[in-house]
Amino acid sequence: MALLLKTEAGRGDSWRRALLAADPGLDLRQWPEVGDPADIEYALVWFPPKGALKSYPNLKVIFSIGAGVDHLASDPELPKGVPIVRMVEPGLTAGMTEFVLMSVLYHHRFMLDYAEQRRNKVWREIDQVPPWDRRVGIMGLGVLGGDVAEKLVALSFDVAGWSRSPKDLPGVARFHGPGGFIPFLNRSDILVCLLPLTAETTGILDARAFAALPEGAALVSVGRGPHVVEADLLAALETGWLGAATLDVFQTEPLPPESPFWDHPRVVLTPHVASLTIAKTASEFVIDNIRRHQAGRPLLHAVDPDRGY
Ligand code: NDP
Ligand code: OXD
């Protein structure tokens, strides 16, 4: 049994060390030094070239280095019937929760306004809003959205979540399905998008969705860029209906230099770093899952091919 490793550029060595620490006997083949393709039974990948994974006749499981699997699902030549496992590991979850909490608190405490006041040397208080009067809406109540919701509840925010199926989380108002979407948006002063990218969620944040938010709402977009119709977002920011946005993911990445988001005064922008997979904890998850598979036990966090996440 060999594991193929194809990481983001520059991260291969830290992954190699972490995987071998988790399983010193592992036969690890680091892309592009693959050896005999017939040896490869497992693959751990981030953005493999399209069509590449069909070269391994004995491939049994594909592990995504990220929580999102859209980088795999968009490959029309992905081998059929090979299960895909998404990344679920404590480092990735903790990083996302930190990032979303930081962003929610930033907008909640008017930090963009204070930054503008500072540029103009203005010394002025803005009325403080208690967290229980700030309605935060989380799109996607899965591994990441669920953890974010729990921590926001602990900070006393008025939290709601929207998911495909109904979800019971302590202290979180629940909305689900297409019927729950607009009522959910209507009560989201700060909207966090933590959905996976699927055919159903592509373009979900459009002019209609922004119009359903309360005036002056803020968006924290950390799922995937194509969730957002960027022209509609810009228009909503220009009119002031949307008060601010934290954007970590974009339609085109890296964000092109001509994008108006770079210089937009109401936008906080980061280069798709809301959370990164941590090689050590992720390697433990992957090796444990390989052992489960070899023992004939069900894989943890396998993607449902019908739902696409
Ligand atoms: P999960 O699969 O655990 O959760 C997905 C959630 O989205 C579930 O609650 C699911 O509903 C809900 N959902 C899916 N489709 C729909 C739909 N059509 N309508 C309503 N709700 C829907 O995913 P994770 O929490 O692990 O990750 C979420 C995403 O975060 C990833 O797919 C990735 O794109 C993004 N991400 C971004 C990072 C960054 O650095 N910017 C880092 C890591 C992840 P239900 O519970 O009913 O199934
Ligand atoms: C992920 C990501 O999906 O980093 O994990 O975007």
Q: Whose CA is nearest to atom 39 of ligand 1?
A: 274
Query: Best of 163, 201, 249 to mutate for ligand 1, by most ligand atoms within 8 A of CB?
Result: 163
pTM: 0.98
CA of 194 to the centre of ligand 1 (A): 5
Per-residue pLDDT of the chain (309 residues; tens, 9 = 90+): 999 999 999 999 999 999 999 999 999 999 999 999 999 999 999 999 999 999 999 999 999 999 999 999 999 999 999 999 999 999 999 999 999 999 999 999 999 999 999 999 999 999 999 999 999 999 999 999 999 999 999 999 999 999 999 999 999 999 999 999 999 999 999 999 999 999 999 999 999 999 999 999 999 999 999 999 999 999 999 999 999 999 999 999 999 999 999 999 999 999 999 999 999 999 999 999 999 999 999 999 999 999 999
CA of 140 to the centre of ligand 1 (A): 5
Q: Whose CA is nearest to atom 29 of ligand 1?
A: 196
**Maximal CA-CA distance, the chain:** 68
Of 200, 196, 191, 241, whose CA–CA distance to 218 is shortest? 191
Contact 272, 252 (CB under 8 A): no
Distance from C-alpha of 238 to C-alpha of 270, rounded to nearest angstrom: 20
Q: Which atom of ligand 1 is nearest to the CA of 273?
A: 40
Distance from C-alpha of 147 to C-alpha of 251, rounded to nearest angstrom: 26
73-131 residue pLDDT tens: 999 999 999 999 999 999 999 999 999 999 999 999 999 999 999 999 999 999 999 99
Ligand 1 neighbour 149 (Cβ under 6 A): no
CA of 182 to the centre of ligand 1 (A): 19
Full set of structural domains in the chain with CATH: 2-89+277-294 (3.40.50.720), 90-269 (3.40.50.720)
Which residues are tagged catalytic? 224, 272
15 CB-contact burial (10 Å; exposed 0-12 / middle 13-18 / buried 19+): buried
For the chain, the straight-line distance linking the first and the last C-alpha, in angstroms and rounded, comes to 27
* Helix H or strand E segment including 263: none
The three-point CA angle 124-127-133 to 5° equals: 155
Contact 241, 210 (CB under 8 A): yes
Query: Best of 7, 45, 87 to mutate for ligand 2, by most ligand atoms within 8 A of CB?
Result: 87
Give the sign of the dihedral formed by CA 265, CA 196, CA 205, CA 128: negative
Per the structure block, which two tokens stand in for 225? Answer: 């860029």
* Helix H or strand E segment including 94: helix 90-108
Q: Which atom of ligand 2 is nearest to the CA of 275?
A: 4
CA of 124 to the centre of ligand 1 (A): 39
